[in-house]
Chains A and B, each alone.
Chain A
Amino acid sequence: MAQTVKDQVVAIIAEQALLDPADVTLDSTLESLGIDSLGLVESIFAIEEAFDISVPFNANDPSESDFDISTVASIIAAVEALVAARPA
């Protein structure tokens, strides 16, 4: 069975955080998982590669980007939206 977007995003974040995916909860923040700015940029790169999407994200001002990184759930939702908008 194909992995869901949620499972894949959680797996990517878990790998960065050096955690088991089961320990990455939807309400976790990247900060609470111990992911710093470099880890964030690497996670976004991994997400882009996994889903063949381009994530609008500027490290200078993450809060101003159109990509909500406030929690794991918000990241999943943003990735789902980008995947849905992907040209067929």
Chain B
Amino acid sequence: MNRVAITGAGTINALAHDVPGTLEAFREGRCGITELDIRDKDRLSIQIGGQVHNWDAEVHFNRQQIVLYDKFTQFTLLAAREAVAQSGLNFDGHLGYESGVVLGTAGGGVNTWDDNYRAVYEEGKNRVHPFVVPKLMNNAAASHLSMEFNLKGPAFSVATACASSNHAMGLAFQMVRSGSAKAMLTGGSESMLCFGGIKAWEGLRVMSKDACRPFSLNRNGMVQGEGAAVFVFEDYDHARARGAEIMAEVAGFAMTSDASDIVMPSKQGAARAIAGALRDARISGNQVGYINAHGTGTAANDKTECAAVADVFGQHADRLMISSTKSMHGHLIGGTGAVELLACIMALRDGVIAPTIGYEEPDPECALDVVPNTAREAQVDVVLSNAFAFGGLNAVLALRRA
């Protein structure tokens, strides 16, 4: 089995349009959640989100590209360019045949669906643009990445709701570890902050109208976000041999299914995924210093997640740190695990633990060290990243300091 290194990272999200800016926001505990700036906002009861502001696609793409790229693809490409540039890899030669891309997205081109349904239903048009289908399909971002970077190995997308990115990165990890790929671009993207995308979420009545406050007693729901993060997962020896900077090592991964309820989380399912990731990484629980929580800010998730962590770690649960950066960038749904992996890398590489902001009141059912409101300096050797999706699908990654 090969070891797996992370040699590049890129992102765009509500906090910043790149990794350095995002990590700075994490360190400062800055909130990227704002009033939404979208069409027909006045007909929404939820009017806040972790929206990417000051986004001008024409700065990054030409007109022919924009016709084919939904916003979720645009975000993915921008993040991938940053990640690949940092890695220093060039896939033009033989490496391209040994490299691929696995990306998570729950909704794919939701803005494209929304715009074109408007055109045919609301505006009564009987014709849509010829590229609607290739623009909205979930695999569009993966395919465009393969074309931009000449990735000719395995390429596909994964849709497991809020766990999509973690499932994608877990599969990429397994491919590099098994030797079926030398390098993989992986991560995820989501862009559903449009009228239809938010209206659908409103229906569930789990959204907050004012803020995302994970683990806080007065939390009142989740806040949607948008954006992408992409990483280069590379064979460790390959990275070492070429002198690449290794940001962190991906050490283990596990996925489980609750097989019980379509929306309510299960402590057992979450705990089995956490324990499974530790086992896969051959790491004992007391080595874990930090967990990037799923931490959605809903009543159900946060108490179930804390109970699962307490079950797996026993007394060590009181010593480790666990935080939810969704309080800052919102819940990126299928892209969320990817953006949150940045907080894991920051913890391992920079020794800074991102806080859970908006924390106001302790909840006895979430009685863990949630790093409230202020980032903390701490040296940690092993971290986990949790994702627990609607549908009862759980995916947990374990990372180790390089």
Contacts and interface: CB of A to CB of B under 8 A. Distances in A.
Interface residues of A, number: 12
Contact of A60 (B203, B263, B299): B299
B203 A59 contact: no
Nearest to B45: A54
Contacts of B219: 60
Contacts of A38: 262-263
Interface string B204-217: 11101000000000
A1 B22 CA distance: 62
A58 B221 contact: yes
Interface in A14-38: 37-38
A61 B299 CA distance: 7
A64 B219 CA distance: 11
B2 interface: no
A20 B204 CA distance: 27
B263 A45 contact: no
B161 to A, nearest CB: 16
Contact of B264 (A37, A44, A57, A60): A37
Contact of A57 (B205, B298, B299): B205
A58 B205 CA distance: 5
B220 interface: yes
A60 B206 CA distance: 6
A44 B204 CA distance: 11
A16 to B, nearest CB: 15
23 contacts: A37-B263, A37-B264, A38-B263, A41-B203, A41-B204, A41-B205, A54-B45, A58-B205, A58-B206, A58-B221, A59-B204, A59-B205, A59-B206, A59-B221, A60-B206, A60-B208, A60-B219, A60-B221, A60-B298, A60-B299, A60-B300, A61-B220, A64-B220
Interface of B: 45, 203-206, 208, 219-221, 262-264, 298-300
Q: Which 5 A-B pairs have the closest CB atoms?
A: A60-B299, A59-B205, A60-B221, A59-B206, A60-B220
Given A44-B205, A59-B221, 11 more contacts: A37-B264, A45-B203, A58-B206, A58-B220, A59-B206, A59-B299, A60-B206, A60-B208, A60-B219, A60-B298, A61-B299
